[in-house]
Chain A
Amino acid sequence: MQKMSAMNRKLIQNLAETLCKQVKHFDKRETECLIRLFSGLLGEQAERRAAHGLDRVRFRNILHNTFGMTDDMMMDSVFRAFDKDNDTYISVKEWVEGLSVFLRGALDEKIKFCFDVYNLHGDGYISREEMLQMLKDSLIRQPTEEDPDEGIKDIVEIALKKMDHDHDGKVSYSDFEKTVKDENLLLEAFGNCLPDAKVEITSNYFCM
């Protein structure tokens, strides 16, 4: 470990220099911190995988431990949103870029990020089925009712009605964008996929 980080120090600095120019919200020092954190996390995983980058399990640990996310599906989706090249690993570049939006993103960037997260099938639309999947545990099931999922279905309809501005039965990116611009609260409409506002305010520690 010690040897590796000593060896990598120069490398990390160079990398930080390049990355911070490509990424919006971090300066060089912060980028360097993030890269170091990244290498630290990599060190914990098996050598074989480390070559590719951060794997899903590690990443989910961070989401869970640092950002208090609990929903498995959401964490997987966030992972997918970070993993731009779809190679099931998060590279150092993806890491820094992803965190830039995740931690410091402007509203537009966050809208895009959340939409990517919710767009489970990656087809550019959030469909009824996707919503149902994401919201399935969001309501206490009333065992007394004939169809225990009726409530959820209703909520999906409500959400769809609220978001589907072009009435095509699914939520496109522009639908989503417009909805969130009208009401910021709906940014994380289908599940918690961003750090919570309180964490956000104190989140600078993450980059220190």
Chain B
Amino acid sequence: MGLTISRAVQWSSDGDQLENSPLNNDILTEILLFTEGFEDRHPQEASIPFCEPLQWNTSLEAADFTSDIYNTRGESAVSLECDDKGRPLLQLSPPAITVHSFYHLSNLLKLSKDKKMKEVWACLEVNREPIKKIFGPISPTIHKGKLFSILHQLDEKLLSIAVRPITREGRLSPAAVNTEVDLLKRENRVLKSVHYTSDYVFSNGCRSPPWRQMEGEICSLIIETCDTEPTLFITCNTSGVFLNERINGEGVENSSMTKSEVYKDIVTLLKNQSPHFAAAADEQDFAIQDVPSAKKILHVETVDVEETGQTLKSYDHEEKNVPEKLAWNKPGSRNKKLEPSLKWKNLGLTSFYDEEEEKARRSRESKKSPGPASENKKKANFSGSSLPGCQSSQKTKSPGGADDFSESSSEDEEDEEKPERRAEIPTDLPSEYWQIQKLVKYLKGANQTATVIVLCTLRDFNLVQETCQLAIRDVGGLEVLINLLDTDDIRCNIGSLKILREISCNSLIRQTIADLGGLQTMVSILDTPVKELKCLAAETIANVAKFRRARRTVRQYGGIKRLVELLDCLPDSVSLSAEQERDADVARCGALALWSCSKSTRNKESIRQAGGIPLLARLLKSSQKNMLIPVVGTLQECASEKSYRIAIQTEGMIEDLVKNLSCDNQELQMHCASAIFKCAEDKHTRDLVRQYDGLKPLVMLLNKAENKQLLAATTGAIWKCSISLENVAKFQEYRALEILVGLLKDQPEEVLVNVVGALGECAQISENLATIRKSGGIQPLVKLLSGTNQALLVNVTKAVGACATDPENMPIIDRLDGVRLLWSLLKNPSPDVQASAAWAICPCIENAKDAGEMVRSFVGGLELIVNLLKSQNKDVLASVCAAIAKIAKDVENLAVISDHGVVPMLANLTNTVDDKLRRYLAEAIACCCMWGSNCVSFGEAGAVAPLVHYLHSKDPLVHQATARALFELSKDPNNCITMHENGVVKLLLIMIGSTDAILQEAAASCVANIRCLALANDKAKNGILTRRSGSVE
């Protein structure tokens, strides 16, 4: 009951109340029945007085104590029976009640009648560790032994209850999945077949094996659709439904990004996977949406890191467009077969366009809801399509390689945007279309004067509106506009660029401009002496270069160098002449274009080579926000490169970045924070941030929690800055930890990763561990362990591991079931998560009470961790070795892991040259020697010789661990021989001279063992001679 109470029972968020959950109810009912019947079943044990009484606030009154074994006086009541010190075994002085034995507990419950449950509830809420109170801190004496075993049985019973209900709490329940599957089975026209992988249903409704249920898995399904190849393997988890490549693989989830998206239910998943199903589902309008789980609409909050600020305009216009689009779509479009209008076809559109149209039509067909009652479907569409979207925005930055296609991943997926966007084109052409067509026709045959008039008229259209943008494109306007750039009439160039600049906020237009070679011309225009023209060209390049190919083109045509040259203007002084102001504007536009271009890795390098960094550093001194935003934007984008990070530090840019953290523009603040985030991996940079007093503004920015992008950048900067202990001290001073803990809830993952990372770093200082606890941080941290984002999991495990080093935190983590969650993460497909989880498990085992018992209680846990020794990842291996060393401290567990073959597996790893792994491997070997014939087995498995060579390592930590391992191994004579053969003595003799006492002792003891053996050997040889003297070793 001790274990269950402290671990299985669910406590409320503030940790001092029992939650009113079904699980708690079940457990408490069991305890109640047990206690009530205790007196009858075990009369002898019932009378054993508790070491310490159980005390709580009761709702009973003296009047309730009607039995004659109690003596009531006024409001209070006492039992007649007293302990050996004369204290009554039950004492009521309302509202407090004190009870000393099970006999009276039983009686009390019998007397409480309908308040029984309430009493148990109240009692357990204040007596978290009843076992401790009953038996006292020392182990039970013999006459209490029986009672102990009775309680132990109860505990086991309770645990079995506790394991059951995992599936009750998630978003998906077995019942919901069942209903849904039944529905799908009925719709056999839509799907070829639907099967469970297992026919056996556990009592809780799940079909997955229990060890998978631990992770919230409900069941696995095999679904054959009519169009996806070949078959879908689907796993239903309480957290959602996802595709699984190998259903029988040991918890190996598919690692490919595209398939691991989690959907809220099976129907959504199928709709996303199978267009046929999606179409059929919409048509039939079957009530799958009414499945309980589907009622929960996921709230998706994404933080789009890319394209901020620069494209605000385009966001705006998209919103503005919405009502109009809807208006066009309304009349009759529902029933009309959406053929592209003939008018459009006659305009000589390219085959590329037809392809688009085709795609668009298909997607329209699958999207438009032909039936009535589309309310539900809209929801389904929304959540279905938004989930993958959310996923893609979560993609972490992947390191770029060297080739052209390895541009940094902040890139957009514009190429994929096309079909979606195209689908929104209305079939009824607006009047603007015809007007634009006419104007473009004039443009083709006009001289400069008329061209300028027409261009100016064209500008009067609402160019941020997509219809106008696409109309210009579709009537061949882009060709003409780009041709005009090639003329040497400046007014025509300007007029054309003014239009191109506006319409290039549309991704389709961008593509076409690039296709038509517009970028080349614009790059060459940058050489013009006319400043207005330079500005316009640079701004248009800034808009067009939003996708990879365009950025590459700019670079290949020498655009980067020219753009960098634009930056060369005087840093802004107090008063600028008109000319200087124009220069500043040119520089601003240049920075805008470089900002767009800098999203490609190679362009970053080109900017640097073109001498852009000192120019950017100079512009960073500006006080103009519209200048600073693109400049800092470029810098933070480029800070992904080491060369820039060094330059930002050495060119003194940190000071300016810090200064601008305190400006009043959130976008600028965000870029500054983001630049610091990227640069502060470097220690000197972190120190500079502190020296320029940048830490306080960062903490202040945490208060702007409503701007998620800013918050993500700020918390990122705090995270990286907190790697330095001096900075952590500052953060403590500014009480940043408390704020960070507050940010652990209801934040997007981008923010959470950083917040948790920061907490993990701050936890290097032990007093912060208490701060995290006191500000209630442990519970949300542990809760995050059940997430799926790998970057987040790595940080969370690290933070929880750090928290576990504080002995006062450990009980909380334990109670919240944190260790089990950590253990489950060993099954995560990411080696980083595995390693991080294993590292975190080490302090948990070290500090948990009854750690051995706890570890044993994880079904299959020991086997799991031993099997991780097969990993290819060095860090995983090192961490698992470290964890095994901790686990092996408990002899029973050591026996279990020995059975799982830990000895040969460890021995297999000994040939490593990695010092970190060597150290923990040696530790694990030292600890594993303690059981059975392990010591001998290590020798037989060939682990001894390589270990000896570890002593050649330069790392003193390796020496210590190795010496300890060798000492343990030297208890077996054969091992001693092997060691001796490998020249261990000479090495150990050096180690004995070390200043590290542990190393000294281990080395000396090992030498002693070897020496003893040698002596014994000598004696054995000379046995005949010496036997007479009777000295036998």
* Segment among A31-39, A84-92, A136-144 that sits at the interface with chain B: A136-144
Whether A196 is near chain B, meaning CB under 8 Å from some CB there, is: yes
- Complex CA–CA separation, A192 to B451 (angstroms): 12
User: Closest residue of chain B to A186, judged by CB?
Assistant: B456
Residues of B within 8 A of A139 (CB): 442, 445-447, 450
Residues of A within 8 A of B452 (CB): 185-186, 188-189
User: Closest residue of chain B to A158, judged by CB?
Assistant: B457
Whether B739 is near chain A, meaning CB under 8 Å from some CB there, is: no
23 contacts between A and B (CB under 8 A): A134-B449, A137-B447, A138-B450, A139-B446, A139-B450, A140-B445, A154-B442, A155-B442, A155-B453, A162-B453, A183-B456, A185-B452, A185-B494, A186-B452, A186-B453, A188-B449, A188-B452, A188-B491, A191-B449, A192-B449, A196-B490, A197-B530, A198-B490
Give the residue of B439, B442, B491 whose beta carbon is less than 8 angstroms from that of A185: B491
Q: Mark A105-140, 1 if CB is under 8 A from B, else 0.
A: 000000000000000000000000000001101111
- Complex CA–CA separation, A197 to B489 (angstroms): 9
Give the residue of A134, A142, A186, A192 whose beta carbon is less than 8 angstroms from that of B445: A142
Residues of B within 8 A of A196 (CB): 489-490
B530 touches A185 (CB 8 A): no
Q: Mark A155-189, 1 if CB is under 8 A from B, else 0.
A: 10011001000000000000000000001011011
A159 touches B445 (CB 8 A): no
A162 touches B460 (CB 8 A): yes
Residues of A within 8 A of B447 (CB): 137-139
Question: Number of A residues contacting the other chain (C-beta, 8 Å)?
Answer: 25
New A-B contacts (11) at CB < 8 Å, excluding given A154-B442, A155-B454, A189-B449: A139-B442, A139-B445, A162-B453, A185-B452, A186-B452, A188-B452, A188-B491, A189-B452, A198-B488, A198-B490, A198-B530
Residues of B within 8 A of A185 (CB): 452, 455-456, 491, 494-495
User: Closest residue of chain A to B528, judged by CB?
Assistant: A198
Residues of A within 8 A of B459 (CB): 183
Whether A201 is near chain B, meaning CB under 8 Å from some CB there, is: yes
A 190-205 contacts with B by CB, 8 A: 190-192, 196-198, 201
- Complex CA–CA separation, A155 to B445 (angstroms): 12
User: Closest residue of chain A to B443, judged by CB?
Assistant: A139
- Complex CA–CA separation, A72 to B453 (angstroms): 20
- Complex CA–CA separation, A158 to B449 (angstroms): 13
A138 touches B446 (CB 8 A): yes
For the complex of A and B, list the 10 residue pairs with the smallest distance between their C-beta atoms, beginning with the closest.
A140-B445, A138-B450, A138-B447, A197-B490, A138-B449, A159-B453, A158-B457, A191-B449, A139-B446, A185-B491
**CB of A108, distance to nearest CB on chain B (Å):** 15
B456 touches A162 (CB 8 A): yes
B442 touches A151 (CB 8 A): yes
B460 touches A155 (CB 8 A): no
- Complex CA–CA separation, A40 to B127 (angstroms): 114
**CB of A115, distance to nearest CB on chain B (Å):** 15
Q: Mark B421-460, 1 if CB is under 8 A from A, else 0.
A: 0000000000000000011001001111110111111011
Interface centre among A139, A154, A186, A201 (most CB of B within 10 A): A139
Whether B529 is near chain A, meaning CB under 8 Å from some CB there, is: yes
User: Closest residue of chain A to B533, judged by CB?
Assistant: A197
A 74-97 contacts with B by CB, 8 A: none
A192 touches B450 (CB 8 A): no
User: Closest residue of chain A to B451, judged by CB?
Assistant: A138
B 464-520 contacts with A by CB, 8 A: 488-491, 494-495
Residues of B within 8 A of A190 (CB): 449
- Complex CA–CA separation, A151 to B457 (angstroms): 15
Residues of B within 8 A of A151 (CB): 442, 445
Q: Which A residues form the contact surface with B (CB < 8 A)?
A: 134-135, 137-140, 142, 151, 154-155, 158-159, 162, 183, 185-186, 188-192, 196-198, 201
User: Closest residue of chain A to B455, judged by CB?
Assistant: A185
**CB of B495, distance to nearest CB on chain A (Å):** 5
**Category for how many chain B residues contact A:** 20 to 34
Residues of B within 8 A of A191 (CB): 449
- Complex CA–CA separation, A66 to B447 (angstroms): 21
B 517-564 contacts with A by CB, 8 A: 529-530
Q: Mark B746-781, 1 if CB is under 8 A from A, else 0.
A: 000000000000000000000000000000000000
Residues of B within 8 A of A159 (CB): 453
- Complex CA–CA separation, A140 to B450 (angstroms): 11
B490 touches A158 (CB 8 A): no
- Complex CA–CA separation, A33 to B661 (angstroms): 56
**CB of B661, distance to nearest CB on chain A (Å):** 39
Q: Mark B310-338, 1 if CB is under 8 A from A, else 0.
A: 00000000000000000000000000000
- Complex CA–CA separation, A159 to B445 (angstroms): 17
User: Closest residue of chain A to B450, judged by CB?
Assistant: A138
- Complex CA–CA separation, A176 to B80 (angstroms): 111
B448 touches A192 (CB 8 A): yes
Residues of A within 8 A of B439 (CB): 158
User: Closest residue of chain B to A159, judged by CB?
Assistant: B453
- Complex CA–CA separation, A196 to B490 (angstroms): 8
Given contacts A185-B495, A197-B490, contact A158 B445 (CB under 8 A): no
User: Closest residue of chain B to A142, judged by CB?
Assistant: B445
Residues of B within 8 A of A142 (CB): 445
**CB of A147, distance to nearest CB on chain B (Å):** 15
Residues of A within 8 A of B445 (CB): 139-140, 142, 151
Residues of A within 8 A of B448 (CB): 192
Give the residue of A155, A162, A198 whose beta carbon is less than 8 angstroms from that of B450: A155
Residues of B within 8 A of A201 (CB): 529-530
Give the residue of B453, B494, B495, B530 whose beta carbon is less than 8 angstroms from that of A158: B453
Q: Mark B564-581, 1 if CB is under 8 A from A, else 0.
A: 000000000000000000
Residues of B within 8 A of A192 (CB): 448-449
Residues of B within 8 A of A183 (CB): 456, 459
**CB of A133, distance to nearest CB on chain B (Å):** 13
A189 touches B453 (CB 8 A): yes
- Complex CA–CA separation, A155 to B442 (angstroms): 8
Residues of A within 8 A of B491 (CB): 185, 188, 197
- Complex CA–CA separation, A155 to B452 (angstroms): 11
- Complex CA–CA separation, A135 to B452 (angstroms): 12
User: Closest residue of chain B to A197, judged by CB?
Assistant: B490
**CB of A177, distance to nearest CB on chain B (Å):** 16
Residues of B within 8 A of A162 (CB): 453, 456-457, 460
Residues of A within 8 A of B438 (CB): 154
- Complex CA–CA separation, A183 to B529 (angstroms): 21
- Complex CA–CA separation, A172 to B457 (angstroms): 19
Residues of A within 8 A of B529 (CB): 198, 201
**CB of A163, distance to nearest CB on chain B (Å):** 9
Residues of B within 8 A of A186 (CB): 452-453, 456
- Complex CA–CA separation, A151 to B441 (angstroms): 10
Q: Mark B602-642, 1 if CB is under 8 A from A, else 0.
A: 00000000000000000000000000000000000000000
**CB of B437, distance to nearest CB on chain A (Å):** 13
- Complex CA–CA separation, A139 to B454 (angstroms): 11
**CB of B526, distance to nearest CB on chain A (Å):** 15
**CB of B438, distance to nearest CB on chain A (Å):** 8
Residues of A within 8 A of B489 (CB): 196
- Complex CA–CA separation, A201 to B534 (angstroms): 15
Residues of A within 8 A of B442 (CB): 139, 151, 154-155
Residues of A within 8 A of B530 (CB): 197-198, 201
**CB of B463, distance to nearest CB on chain A (Å):** 14
**CB of B582, distance to nearest CB on chain A (Å):** 13
Residues of A within 8 A of B457 (CB): 158, 162
User: Closest residue of chain A to B441, judged by CB?
Assistant: A151
Interface centre among B442, B460, B495 (most CB of A within 10 A): B442
- Complex CA–CA separation, A159 to B454 (angstroms): 8
- Complex CA–CA separation, A138 to B492 (angstroms): 14
B454 touches A158 (CB 8 A): yes
- Complex CA–CA separation, A185 to B452 (angstroms): 7
- Complex CA–CA separation, A142 to B445 (angstroms): 9
- Complex CA–CA separation, A189 to B454 (angstroms): 10
Residues of B within 8 A of A138 (CB): 446-447, 449-450
**CB of B907, distance to nearest CB on chain A (Å):** 81
